[in-house]
Amino acid sequence: MQDYGSFDDDDDKKGKGKSGKAIKDWDCPTCEANNPTDEPISNSSELRCNYCGNEFTVSFSDTGKMKFKEI
Ligand SMILES: [Zn+2]
């Protein structure tokens, strides 16, 4: 597999972390609601779902995927 510099392994517009573009929305891993944010999401941002109220710390994997850890 070649790396073309713009890794696109996702099925929609999620996972923009690696290219350095600001991510301003996220999908709650608990209830799968899409939550917009005012500020770009970065590594170790703390997010709270507007729908179920769960809070998460975000980290990014090597491939730019967002990973959530429940607080
Ligand atoms: Zn939620």
Instruction: For 23-70, give the CATH class.
Output: mainly beta
How remote is the CA of residue 69 from the centroid of ligand 1, in Å? 13
pLDDT value at residue 3: 60
* Residue 20 CA, ligand 1 centroid: distance in Å: 25
Distance from the alpha carbon of residue 34 to the mean position of ligand 1, in angstroms = 8
| Domain boundaries of the chain, sorted by first residue | 23-70
DSSP string computed for the chain: ----SS---SSSS---GGGTPPP-EEE-TTT--EEE-SS---TT-EEE-TTT--EEEEEE-TTS-EEEEE-
Ligand 1 centre to CA of 1 (Å) is 35
Mean pLDDT by 10 residues, the chain (71 residues): 54 51 93 96 96 97 93 94
Q: Residue 67 contacts by C-beta under 8 Å, 6 or more apart in sequence?
A: 58, 59, 60, 61
Q: What is the pLDDT of residue 21?
A: 77
* Alpha carbon of 22 to ligand 1 centroid (Å): 21
**pLDDT number for residue 64:** 87
